[in-house]
Amino acid sequence: MPEVTSLFRLPLGQAARTISRRLQRAYQQHKHIIVPMLLAPIGMGLSIPSDGGARPGQESHSLKARATDPKGIHGHPSTILSQTAAQFASEITIANQAGEKVDLKNSLMILSLCLTRGSRFSIEAKGEDAAQAVTALARVLAEELKVASVWSVSTDVQVKLKGMAVTDAVVIGRALPIKEVLDIESYPRIDIRAEAERQGKSVEDLLRNRLGLVVDAFRAIEEELVGDESDVAQTLSVLLMEIKTKVLEHMEKNTLCARDAVEALLNDYKVLRVSDNEKMQSIYTDIYQMCTKMLSIKHRRVVDIRREIERLGRDDVVIVADHISPADVGLVNDARVAGIVRENGSREDHLSLRLGDRQKAGLVNARDAVAAVRLGSQIIVDGMTGRLIVNPGTSTLRKYRILKKRSDAVMASLVALRESPAVTRNGARIRLMGNAANPEEVALLLEHGLEGVGLVRTEFFFIYDREGLTRKAEPSVVEQTRYYTELIRAAGDKEITFRTIDPDLDKSFPYFSRLNGDLVAGGKKGLALCLDREGHGPYYYAFRNQLKALLLTNGRIKVMFPLVRSNEEFLFAMEVVDSVRAELESQGIKVNDRISYGIMVEHPAVLRHLDELAADERLDFFSLGTNDLTQYLTGTNRYSSVTSQYFDELDPRVIRAIDQTVKAAARADIQLSLCGNMGNEGRKLLVLLGLGVRSISFSSRFADLARQLISSVDSDSLRLMVRNIAGITTGSEVRRYIDEFILEQERAGAWADLSVYEDLLFD
């Protein structure tokens, strides 16, 4: 009795496990005794080890899951699970990570496993109805009780996972799971001198060989990026060139192996990793992942994703991975890739931005996605809800096929409206603009019925030449003038706005490093950097040359300065314009006198200077840069996998800043436009219309829907909606109110046309 008495002094779970272990030992020794009868009076069951696999004629199926409820798998879920399991004839067990296995049909034994939040566990069923049992238990865990994330099921039952949608695209495709290790610790560290002695080679010969391998690995990444002409790929190419130069430099100067050189490089950029600025942290992540990609190529561990796509042999491939290196951003251009799902990443990182550009499906933060799929598994990526559905059932497939067919038909019907102006029900005219970086992108915007270019990102022309190769020197004034002229001609009689160079850590000019042009975390940015003759002189002179090239163009254009913080910065910029103009005119050169000048409103510091700026007769317009404005006001980073979920352009602080800018422009009677991404979602667009923004940049993908939404609503009602939003304190509450407001308008018959497009307009 002393042993029995001591059990009552133990916590319930520990006592139950102790009893279970003792009974299991007894069972092994005395299988002819019916041990469960000993516990029948107190209602306990036994964990009886199986003698092996399923018997002939029986099936064996299992699932793996992770407890997500703050209380873990506690009393109520244990009871429901045991009751569900009891409905099936199969032998069903549940095991924790330590391998302790108990009978799922007994709730007390489930509790003995102590499955706390975050614990991983597995359920196995053996018997004729094993598949049905596992299907039912997966549904109970994830959908009814909602206490666990089910991430692997041996039978092809439907599994739903949640992530964060990158785009609103919905795709039905086949899974390509990618398991590539991007961890520097997995690569060897070699002492070059000792290795040379061991091989009987000179240190110089061995180092030369290792340098060649590293150069070849970097070249493979460069070739992948050069094939993608997007701004994103060009930004990454610049970063890659800097990484390559410094890794090789560390190897050669310090006689280091590739891994040690990478670690030295990462130490050089430690300031980015420990920075409070999450954009800096995200740049560090890009550097780290491109370095580990190089190492994986060098050591022949790289996963050739394009070859895997080829082997799958489908044109509806959905890549499912933990991480995708920035070096693989070109995968988005592959016509066979319908979407990319990642367990990590951010909705605003480089890969996500490219998915948006190419109108492809994507999810980030989709936990356990890789384990949930098998090669070729049918999956659905739902960008409207952020769901990943693995092995969808017949009814689910039917539903999504109908939805896709309907959305395709709706989008096709909107093409006919591209020649029509965007006008609200009560006659407010809205100008639909777009952003571009080259003449081809301008042509695409006009093809989609957009009315001009709200932003030309000029800095990329300073980084790459016409062939997409990284420049070794600044483009000449003549070459720049030719580039700007081509863009002006591509726009025809449409408005076009050039943003002057906006270098940053992730888009610095590579050829300036030898001219004291290195950018540092926390350093000057935007216009302040271009006006800094002392600290970063090269950018000042590049800025002057750019203004010279713009003044040598013909036609009506707009020029705006980035990240302006004060009236003094704008005045200084205009002094540079006057100086360049005077220099050209003194040489008898005719300059373009049809240029209007403005600023981007994207830093909170400028908000208190808006009236002063608007009163300056040289300033003709404000352009809202809501991407950076939102980051600064909310203290988040759209590139971060941690805080991007809190990057919210419907945050009341952002709405107030836009309202302040709109009113300042109205008081001074100057033009106002928005060149950020905020217009590319229905709720946000409604807020912008209600605030009085009348010139908005859209992606070519969203432009047709935007035109339809504008024609379905009236600006008077939206002004009322925005006034009511003024008292709301969070972005999520703003969303809820907008949804309620839309429903009220539809019920009243005011916005009846909108209901047809709701699924496509609102994420």
Q: Which residues, 6 or more positions from 305, have their beta carbon under 8 angstroms from its beta carbon?
A: 176, 178, 319, 328, 331
**At 481, which helix (H) or strand (E)?**
helix 477-491
**Which tokens is 297 given?**
């190529």
CB 173 within 8 A of CB 362: no
Alpha helices, DSSP H only, in 492-637? 526-530, 537-551, 567-586, 610-614, 626-634
Distance CA 570, CA 386 (A): 43
Burial track 140-173 (b if 16+ CB lie within 10 A, e otherwise): bbbeebebbbbbbbbbbbbbbbebbbbbbbbbbb
323 is catalytic: no
As to burial, measured by CB atoms within 10 angstroms (0-12 exposed, 13-18 middle, 19+ buried), residue 385 is: middle
- DSSP structural state of residue 475: P
- DSSP structural state of residue 326: G
CB 448 within 8 A of CB 711: no
Instruction: Tell me which residue of 330, 337, 328, 342 sits closest to 310, measured CA to CA.
Output: 337
Catalytic residue among 30, 61, 74, 350: 74
Distance CA 320, CA 203 (A): 43
Question: Around 19, how many Cα atoms within 13 Å sit in the side-chain half-sphere?
Answer: 26
CB 455 within 8 A of CB 623: yes
Instruction: Tell me which residue of 486, 390, 481 sits closest to 442, measured CA to CA.
Output: 486
User: Strands (DSSP E) along 130-236, which ranges?
Assistant: 148-153, 159-162, 164-165, 170-178
Q: Would you please indicate which residues are annotated as catalytic (active-site) residues?
A: 74
